[in-house]
Amino acid sequence: MEKRRLGSSQLEVSVLGLGCNNFGMKIDLDATRAVVEAALDVGIDFFDTADLYGGTRSESFLGEVLEGRRSSVRIATKFGGLARSRGSQDGGWGRREAILEAAEASLARLRTDFIDLYQIHFPDPSTPIDETLAALDELRRSGKVREIGCSNFSLARLKASHDQKGRPRFASLQNEWSLLRREVEGELVPHCETYGIGFLPYFPLASGVLTGKYRRGEDFGQGTRLAELDAFARFGSDRNLAIAERLEAFARERGHDLLDLALGWLASQPSVASVIAGATSPEQVRANAKAIGWTLSESERTRVDEITRGAQGSF
């Protein structure tokens, strides 16, 4: 498994990361253990979780499964999502006290003395970014955090974080990016390339649409996210399914499948440090690891752009 540096930081991570949002929500501890073991077997050393996932169970499960192997893995987690989900919609999770408290709780659940990458899950609308960065710098100086990152930040918020003199800069940005959601390529991706910020795409498979499991004119299927969760139904629009069909035909002409294209295309982007892909089974982990190996040529990337033209728009 290829390793890449996270932006201009010293932290190196596997080009395919394991998104741990299913842990404690869709799968239990035993299934989590099987998925993590499979990830380690294929060379994945980067595990991305959050205090929000599984109502803190994701961190707890991951900490238990990785105990005793801490030196060989890189753990990223996020704060703020849990507070936001509990009614703090107006912010507050970016305050110093809230950050320090959240960090201690995550460290305990993860059974570790330090977090490799600590990320603010959502921008805090009520707390000055200077206070947030100061608290994160405090954690970094204490050795409890190695690098800091942000998630779901707009270009304006990212630029504002750079304007805080004497404060550390975010090493990474984790936002949605896939063949069906390409708005970030307009300004955010070039900004990250200019300032040495590693991009960590989430939802790289558009909640399964870019695996080929959904078809136009067919039900999504009982038990799937698109069928059961309104927040994910947006991925299954006729527009997205039509684009996915054309992308699948393109991949098959070259001896690949749609999954290979979705992950390989993202890994071919210079700004991408690691593609964050979730899994609920060892089979999915192995398929993702195989898929990440397709490095697209310039002409192939041009053809993909033609097929997905218009994907920069919103759903």
Enclosing domain of residue 156: 3-210+261-296
Report the alpha-carbon distance of residue 50 to residue 149 in Å, rounded: 13
Beta strands in the chain (DSSP E): 3-5, 12-14, 16-19, 46-48, 74-79, 115-120, 145-151, 172-174, 198-199, 275-278
Report the alpha-carbon distance of residue 70 to residue 111 in Å, rounded: 9
Strand order in the sheet with 46-48: 198-199, 172-174, 145-151, 115-120, 74-79, 46-48, 16-19, 275-278
Give the domain CATH number at 183.
Answer: 3.20.20.100
Residue 76, in any domain of the structure: yes
Helices 57-66, 96-110: axis angle to 10 degrees equals 40
The three-point CA angle 224-230-233 to 5° equals: 65
Residue 69, in any domain of the structure: yes
User: Mapping DSSP to helix (H, G, I), strand (E, B) and coil, where does residue 205 land?
Assistant: coil
The whole-number pLDDT of residue 229 equals: 53
Q: Which two tokens stand for residue 186?
A: 């307009």
Q: Which of 53, 118, 202, 214 is catalytic?
A: 53
Catalytic residue flag (residue 118): no
Report the alpha-carbon distance of residue 171 to residue 151 in Å, rounded: 11
Report the alpha-carbon distance of residue 96 to residue 127 in Å, rounded: 9
Of 244, 239, 273, the closest CA to residue 257 belongs to 244
Per-position pLDDT tens, the chain of length 315: 999 999 999 999 999 999 999 999 999 999 999 999 999 999 999 999 999 999 999 999 999 999 999 999 999 999 999 999 998 888 999 999 999 999 999 999 999 999 999 999 999 999 999 999 999 999 999 999 999 999 999 999 999 998 888 888 999 999 999 999 999 999 999 999 999 999 999 999 998 899 977 665 566 555 556 545 555 556 767 888 999 999 999 999 999 999 999 999 999 999 999 999 999 999 999 999 999 999 999 999 999 999 998 655 433
Residue 176, in any domain of the structure: yes
User: Mapping DSSP to helix (H, G, I), strand (E, B) and coil, where does residue 172 land?
Assistant: strand
Please give the torsion angle defined by the CA atoms of residues 89, 146, 168 and 176, in that order, rounded to the nearest 10 degrees.
Answer: -50
Domain total in the chain = 1
Look up the pTM and report it: 0.91
Residue 233, in any domain of the structure: no
Report the alpha-carbon distance of residue 278 to residue 285 in Å, rounded: 8
Residue 144, in any domain of the structure: yes
Q: Which two tokens stand for residue 175?
A: 């936002």
